[in-house]
Structure 1
Amino acid sequence: MYRILIVEDDEKIGALLQSYICKYGFEAIIAKRLNKLNAEFEETAPHLVLMDINLPFFDGFYWCRQFRVRSNAPVIFISARAGEMDQVMAIENGGDDYLTKPIHLDLMIAKIKSALRRAYGEYASASAAGKAAGPSCGGLRLDNGRSHLEWSDRLVELTRNERLLAECLLEAEGRIVSRERLLEALWDDVQFVDDNTLTVNVTRLRKKMEELGLSEALETVRGQGYRLRTETLADRTV
């Protein structure tokens, strides 16, 4: 079931959108903490976001940029602004589509289905589908499309950075991955990134792996980088 995050400060509109979306078999969640939408996004791990532009604290353009650091999930803006420049701004800030208020609900559903098909379904290219499947090693598997890490019968959801780190480490299949390589995978311009930021992200991924029961699988190789201990994975493969 695809999960849709609704970011709307008007409670009545939010409830209407949620009710209509659920009628079509989707899971719809209304964001409650409009001042902490990054946390809402990571906890929800949505496949698509409906994003109002006029929001308290920060506008929808700001939050869309924040989400883009974490995920490529489609973002459809919803707004009473019908001007061409607003729609241009929506696209330039990472949006995929635009709906004007009052919202035509059937059109909204059509746009949601279209965006989901492009991102995950029949319109996704074969190469994108292969990438979505993600790499695996010793029974540990990454689902790029849904940003999940799976081991045995357990599953944890990953943030964008955790997913990119896991992808690099799984593809290396037990070889050491340098800190420089991991930094490049996470950020386009690494010269302005504090090296400690990578350590924080690796620590978060390690905690996610501990939730899977793999407390010793991610090894720090002093002065070189990190590696997955494939021998540990093999020992625990049933």
Structure 2
Amino acid sequence: MFKIMLIEDDESLYHEIKDRLSQWSYDVYGVSDFSNVMQDFAAIKPDLVIIDIQLPKFDGFHWCRNIRAHSNIPIIFLSSRDHPTDMVMSMQLGADDFVQKPFHFDVLIAKLQATLRRAYNYNAELVSLKTWCGATVDYEKNTVTNEQGCVELTKNESFILKQLIEQKNRIISREDLIRNLWDDERFISDNTLTVNVNRLRKKLEAIGLGRMIETKVGLGYIAIEEGTLP
């Protein structure tokens, strides 16, 4: 049974989501103190966090930053605001998905299941380590390491990188990446993929590999292999 931490201050919505998720055999925990969410996070040790943007004391972005400072656990944002910048901000902070309020519960479940599947199932089917451009890519730990250092990736970033380097030197279309990553294109925006790829490239730049992920305008993305290691 997966443990879900639901950071939502609207009590009626919290109980509605908790009841519905419980029907799907998820164990849902709330927050006892919105001024100290990390205390509950440490105590619960959840498998996934669902977090509203508008919260008392500090907003959801604040707590996302705090969680990401300690963990790569999957995070799904909820928001009643319709600003595109909210989605962009959430992805830049390392969230895995975004749900706009009001939402149909089937959409939330689909996103939740897809996120958990990406985070906890696909690694079992992969060889844990991969070499690429002189770096070691660890699919289990979601890290890329070379002589310049080590960077940690989110689950989405790791999955995108895996898709690209498993077919290195070949262009992967945006549509294929979206389909493979989110399973159903109805549940994700094209802009979210752009944000994830840009964030991945920025992290890789820290160890000198940012230029090895290229954008092919109108076609997709390609991971270049310079032949340093097979």
TM-score by length of 2: 0.55
Q: Partner of 2:89 in structure 1? A: 89
Q: Partner of 2:21 in structure 1? A: 21
Relative distance call for 1:100 and 1:130 in structure 2 (3 A) is closer
The separation in 1 between residues aligned to 2:141 and 2:75, in whole angstroms, is 20
Identity percentage of aligned residues: 38
Aligned residues: 134
Relative distance call for 1:130 and 1:80 in structure 2 (3 A) is closer
Relative distance call for 1:85 and 1:28 in structure 2 (3 A) is same
Say which SS state the counterpart of residue 70 (structure 1) adopts.
coil
Q: Partner of 1:40 in structure 2? A: 40
The separation in 1 between residues aligned to 2:105 and 2:123, in whole angstroms, is 23
Relative distance call for 1:123 and 1:23 in structure 2 (3 A) is farther
Report 1 or 2 for greater relative contact order, CA contacts < 8 Å, sequence distance ≥ 6. Answer: 2
Spell out, residue by residue over 1:110-157, the C-alpha distance to the aligned partner (whole angstroms, 9 max, x if none).
10111111111136644267559xxxxxxxxxxxxxxxxxxxxxxxxx
Q: In angstroms, what is the RMSD of aligned CA positions?
A: 2.1
The separation in 2 between residues aligned to 1:51 and 1:42, in whole angstroms, is 16
Say which SS state the counterpart of residue 58 (structure 1) adopts.
coil
Q: Partner of 1:236 in structure 2? A: none
Q: Partner of 1:63 in structure 2? A: 63
Q: CA deviation at 1:31?
A: 1.4
Q: Which amino acid aligns with 1:79?
A: S
| Long gaps (5+) in structure 2 | 129-137, 143-205, 207-230
- Which stretches of structure 1, 4 residues or more, deviate above 6 A after TM superposition? none
The separation in 2 between residues aligned to 1:110 and 1:12, in whole angstroms, is 22
Q: CA deviation at 1:69?
A: 1.4
Say which SS state the counterpart of residue 89 (structure 1) adopts.
helix
Q: Partner of 1:151 in structure 2? A: none
Contact 1:3–1:47 (CA under 8 A) maintained in structure 2: yes
Say which SS state the counterpart of residue 82 (structure 1) adopts.
coil
- 1:52 pairs with 2:52: yes
The separation in 2 between residues aligned to 1:105 and 1:69, in whole angstroms, is 30
Greater CA radius of gyration, 1 or 2?
Answer: 1
The separation in 1 between residues aligned to 2:114 and 2:127, in whole angstroms, is 17
Q: Partner of 1:4 in structure 2? A: 4
Relative distance call for 1:131 and 1:64 in structure 2 (3 A) is closer
Q: Partner of 1:111 in structure 2? A: 111
Contact 1:117–1:123 (CA under 8 A) maintained in structure 2: no
Say which SS state the counterpart of residue 99 (structure 2) adopts.
strand
Say which SS state the counterpart of residue 76 (structure 2) adopts.
strand
